[in-house]
């Protein structure tokens, strides 16, 4: 990394996007389009590299709506003459599920239009593809797996089964022992800026990701290695070791319930500093631990949640194992939920693709959940005349209103902007399966209190970065399968989960190409969680791909360079999935009093039906999981129909029970 990054190095990302067969939608913003770009056989968003996720061209319209400038330039929407039974806003898993559930009620001939502002369907469940010689590598651009901290509801499980996914069969597809058998283990990267030296050290506290095998016997040796090599002061090393090995009661004399109430109101960082008394260096090591789940570090996550997630310091505190009031659902261990896990090579993009195939069979060939892994979607088929279900990409909905008086209106009018023009369609009903923060700008008719509740669902920003590399010899030489880097730009870097399914074969030999998954949650430690997310969102919007790429290459070189990794030789492509509006915001006992004290939650107010309009999306359950998105779609369809959609079982919906009393 001493040499400067050449323009050629950057070809993997930014330039390839421009050179790719798909024309960026922003190029069309100012002109009228006669032949839709999606009709071109070359239109294939999963293969685009560079800055993806919320890509250029997907958000400008919504932002101008927010800023009050959209209608100054837009003019009256052209009447498309189209009429539907249902218009769904948002082609994420919630919107696609809503379309599917609606057809179970209204029948297969019901006419459904799904409008989506991105150039691909799936919402956060996005597929990334990379060419590696004659091989195609897959990566997940967002939603990683079928998993949930609480058990899947009957509705969500039933849909997963209906799509042909046999969750129990997962062990057949994953090479669980692959990395372990090669001697690779999870490690921690200490960076010079935070810890005074760049050093990759074995993580003595982790038995590691998807690997299995009883390795408890290795733990003392790993601790020895860690204590010898970590660039921490002797005092910090001692405190770190004791934190994991002492079984002390740090709140003596209090009953369990009172301890939990105290832990719910103090951050884990402050618990460690002020109650346990560890040096700041130890907090720095642990700080970024919860970021992949919460989008913030331990300065903004409660000590009670840290206890639930298994972080150290609580084994001597005699806490009743039942979940405490105000715990985040991510922090409540549940063995039944843990068993329900399935990772496809493109993550839950496979669920989105299976739903699309169910809605528009001609769009994706094949018949099974295995053959879809390598099937190429034909985007030209998504929005065809005569098809009962149509998915219209690159279309931002800008207004939804009843056609006349709320009580007597027989239709809603939905206006959307597409490639610089505005159109309107009519429908008997509309389901808003889009992000809740967008809804008040789109649906002005809603009551003010509901708009306020919708605004409260500002999402958690994230970067999910996939780096395709030529080979993973450096990981083998260093004995590393995944890296936690608490001080770095990306705090996680992991070799792809070795899953082979259908015709897709994972990388098994260190000499073969593979995808590294990296993750960053931009946050500002010290601020309340929502303010951290707001600042992080701005950071993501304002950072160029070139800066991100430089950070990625620099970090990989520093972490893996001692194993021979050379980014300019080994990196073959980079896709940064930028999600400024990422996870649904989940309530936090440090900042949301209602979550501790009970009462109606903002999401319950936000999701109330309004005339012919119902509201879905994972935000409607304040629950950042796929089953939550499915359950909210099921509820929304029930609200606009006279009877509940199939499946009939609605008990225990993941997002419907959202008061503190329920946890």
Ligand X SMILES: Cc1cc2nc3c(=O)[nH]c(=O)nc-3n(C[C@H](O)[C@H](O)[C@H](O)COP(=O)(O)OP(=O)(O)OC[C@H]3O[C@@H](n4cnc5c(N)ncnc54)[C@H](O)[C@@H]3O)c2cc1C
Q: Which is nearer to ligand X, 9 or 60 (CB)?
A: 60
Cis peptide before 647 (omega within 30 of 0): yes
Beta-carbon neighbour count of residue 252 at 10 Å? 10
Radius of gyration over every alpha carbon of the chain, rounded to an integer in angstroms: 25
Residue ranges in contact with ligand X by CB under 6 A: 62, 89-95, 115-118, 123-125, 142-145, 147-148, 396-397, 433-435, 438, 442, 462, 464, 579, 582-584, 617-618, 624-626, 628-629
User: What's the closest the beta carbon of residue 122 comes to ligand X, in angstroms?
Assistant: 7
Q: Of 222 and 390, which has the nearer Cβ to ligand X? A: 390
What φ, ψ does residue 105 adopt, rounded to 5°? Answer: -95, -50
d(Cα 48, Cα 312) in Å, to the nearest integer?
42
* CB 292, min distance to ligand X, A: 9
Rounded least distance, CB 505 to ligand X, Å? 23
CB of 451 to ligand X, least distance (A): 15
Vertex 129 angle, CA 380 and 168, to 5°: 100
Find the distance separating the first CA and the last CA of the chain, reported in whole Å.
49
Residue 73 neighbours by CB under 8 Å, 6+ apart: 64
How many alpha carbons lie under 13 Å from residue 378 in its C-beta half-sphere? 12
DSSP state of 342: B
Q: How far is the CB of 611 from ligand X (least distance, A)?
A: 19
- For ligand X, which is the closer residue by CB, 558 or 607? 607
- Least distance from ligand X to the Cβ atom of residue 332, Å: 16
Q: For the CB of residue 490, give the shortest distance to ligand X in the complex, in Å.
A: 13
Nearest-approach distance from CB 54 to ligand X, in angstroms: 7
99 membership: H or E segment, kind and range: helix 93-106
DSSP states along 414-483: EEEEETTEEEEEEEEEEEE-S-GGGHHHH-TTS-HHHHHHHHTTPPEEEEEEEEEES--HHHHHHTEEEE
- Residue 420: phi, psi to the nearest 5? 85, 0
Query: 607 with 615: CB under 8 angstroms?
Result: yes
Q: Which two tokens stand for residue 381?
A: 């088929």
Pairing between β-strand 421-432 and β-strand 127-132 as defined by DSSP bridges: unpaired
Minimum Å distance from CB 617 to ligand X?
4
Closer residue to ligand X, CB minimum distance, 205 or 617: 617
**Of residues 520, 532, 540, 577, the one with CA closest to residue 118:** 577
Q: Is 494 in contact with 186 (CB distance < 8 Å)?
A: no
Q: Nearer Cβ to ligand X, position 94 or 589?
A: 94
**Minimum distance, C-beta of residue 254 to ligand X, in the bound complex (Å):** 36
Q: What's the CA gap between 116 and 608, in Å, rounded? A: 22
Task: Identify which of residues 278 and 614 has a Cβ nearer to ligand X in the complex.
Answer: 614
For ligand X, the closer of residues 116 and 473 by Cβ is 116
Choose between 346 and 471: whose C-beta lies nearer to ligand X. 346
What does the alpha-carbon distance between residue 102 and residue 138 come to, in Å, rounded to a whole number? 31
- The DSSP code for 146 is B
| Token pair recorded at residue 485 | 């880097």
Q: Which is nearer to ligand X, 145 or 535 (CB)?
A: 145
- Least distance to ligand X from the beta carbon of 114, Å? 9
**What's the number of CA atoms in the CB half-sphere (13 Å) around residue 491?**
21
Which is nearer to ligand X, 271 or 344 (by Cβ)?
344
| 3-class state of residue 113 by DSSP | strand
Nearest approach, Cβ of residue 573 and ligand X (Å):
19
Cβ proximity to ligand X: between 148 and 350 the closer is 148
Contact 98, 373 (CB under 8 A): no
Q: Identify the CA nearest to 391 among candidates 29, 66, 23, 92.
A: 92
Distance CA 242, CA 598 (A): 37
- Other residues' Cβ atoms within 10 Å of the Cβ of residue 600: 11
Between 232 and 443, CB nearer to ligand X = 443
Residue 112 CA: distances (Å) to CA of 26, 315, 359, 425, 434: 26, 54, 10, 11, 16
> Which two three-digit tokens encode residue 424?
């309107």
Q: Is 626 helix (H, G, I), strand (E, B) or coil?
A: helix
The least CB distance from residue 370 to ligand X, in Å, is 20
Q: How far is CA 29 from CA 74, 167, 394, 496, 599, in A?
A: 12, 42, 10, 36, 45
For the bound state, the minimum distance from the C-beta of residue 203 to ligand X, rounded and expressed in Å, comes to 22
Output 144 or 489, the one with its CB closest to ligand X. Answer: 144
d(CA 52, CA 30): 21
Closer residue to ligand X (CB): 442 or 613: 442
In whole angstroms, how close is the CB of 640 to ligand X at the nearest point? Answer: 17
In 397-418, which positions are buried (b, 16+ CB within 10 angstroms) versus exposed (e)?
A: bbbbbbeeeeeeeebbbbbbbb
Residue closer to ligand X, measured from CB, 52 or 558: 52
The CB-of-536 to ligand X minimum distance in angstroms stands at: 13
Nearer to ligand X, 226 or 583 (CB): 583
């Amino acid at each position: 990394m001493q040499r400067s990054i050449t323009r050629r190095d950057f070809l993997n990302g930014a330039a390839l996007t421009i050179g790719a067969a798909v024309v960026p939608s922003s190029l069309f913003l100012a002109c009228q389009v006669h032949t839709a770009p999606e009709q071109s056989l070359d239109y294939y968003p999963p293969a685009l590299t560079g800055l993806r996720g919320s890509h250029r061209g997907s958000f400008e319209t919504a932002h101008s709506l927010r800023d009050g400038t959209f209608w100054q330039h837009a003019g009256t929407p052209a009447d498309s003459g189209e009429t539907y039974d249902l218009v769904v806003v948002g082609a994420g898993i919630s919107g696609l599920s809503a379309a599917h559930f609606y057809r179970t009620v209204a029948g297969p001939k019901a006419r459904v239009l799904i409008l989506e502002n991105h150039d691909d369907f799936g919402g956060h469940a996005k597929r990334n593809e990379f060419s590696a010689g004659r091989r195609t590598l897959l990566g997940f651009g967002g939603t990683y797996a079928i998993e949930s901290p609480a058990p899947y509801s009957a509705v969500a499980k039933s849909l997963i089964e209906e799509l042909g996914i046999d969750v129990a069969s997962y062990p057949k597809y994953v090479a669980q022992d692959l990395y372990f058998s090669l001697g690779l283990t999870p490690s921690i990267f200490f960076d010079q800026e935070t810890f005074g030296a760049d050093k990759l050290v074995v993580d003595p506290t982790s038995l590691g990701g998807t690997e299995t095998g009883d390795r408890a016997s290795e733990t003392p040796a790993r601790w020895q290695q860690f204590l010898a090599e970590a660039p921490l002061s002797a005092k910090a090393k001692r405190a770190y070791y004791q934190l994991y090995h002492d079984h002390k009661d740090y709140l003596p004399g209090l009953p369990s319930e009172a301890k939990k109430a105290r832990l719910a109101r103090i951050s884990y960082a402050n618990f460690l500093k002020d109650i346990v008394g560890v040096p700041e260096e130890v907090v720095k090591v642990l700080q970024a631990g919860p970021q992949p789940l919460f989008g913030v570090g331990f300065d903004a996550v409660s000590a009670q949640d840290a206890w639930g997630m298994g972080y150290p310091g609580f084994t001597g505190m005699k806490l009743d194992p039942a979940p405490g009031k105000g715990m985040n659902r991510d922090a409540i261990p549940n063995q039944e939920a843990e068993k329900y896990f399935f990772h496809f090579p493109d993550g839950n993009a496979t669920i989105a693709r299976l739903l699309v195939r169910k809605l528009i069979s001609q769009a994706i060939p094949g018949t099974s959940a295995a053959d879809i892994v390598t099937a190429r979607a034909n985007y030209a088929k998504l929005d065809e005349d005569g098809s009962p279900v149509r998915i219209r990409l690159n279309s931002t909905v800008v207004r939804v209103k009843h056609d006349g008086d709320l009580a007597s209106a027989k239709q809603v009018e939905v206006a959307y902007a597409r490639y610089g023009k505005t159109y309107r369609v009519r429908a008997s009903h509309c389901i808003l399966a889009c992000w809740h923060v967008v809804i008040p700008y789109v649906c002005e008719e809603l009551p003010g209190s509901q708009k306020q509740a919708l605004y409260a669902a500002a999402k958690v920003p994230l970067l999910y970065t996939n780096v395709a590399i030529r080979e993973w010899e450096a990981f083998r030489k260093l004995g590393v399968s995944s890296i936690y880097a608490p001080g770095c730009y990306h705090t996680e870097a992991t070799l792809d989960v070795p899953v082979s399914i259908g015709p897709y074969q994972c990388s098994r030999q260190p000499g073969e190409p593979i995808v590294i998954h990296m993750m960053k949650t931009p946050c500002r430690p010290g601020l309340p969680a929502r303010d951290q997310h707001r600042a992080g969102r701005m950071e993501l919007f304002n950072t160029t791909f070139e800066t991100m790429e430089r950070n990625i290459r620099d970090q990989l070189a520093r972490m893996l360079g001692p194993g021979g990794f050379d980014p300019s030789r080994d990196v073959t492509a980079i896709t940064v999935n930028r999600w400024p509006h990422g996870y649904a915001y989940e309530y936090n006992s440090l900042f949301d009093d209602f979550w501790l004290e009970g009462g109606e939650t903002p999401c319950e107010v936000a999701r109330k039906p309004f005339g012919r309009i119902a509201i879905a999306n994972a935000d409607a359950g304040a629950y950042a999981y796929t089953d939550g998105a499915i359950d909210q779609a099921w509820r929304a369809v029930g609200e606009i129909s006279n009877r509940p959609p199939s499946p009939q079982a609605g008990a225990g919906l993941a997002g419907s029970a959202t008061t503190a009393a329920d946890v």
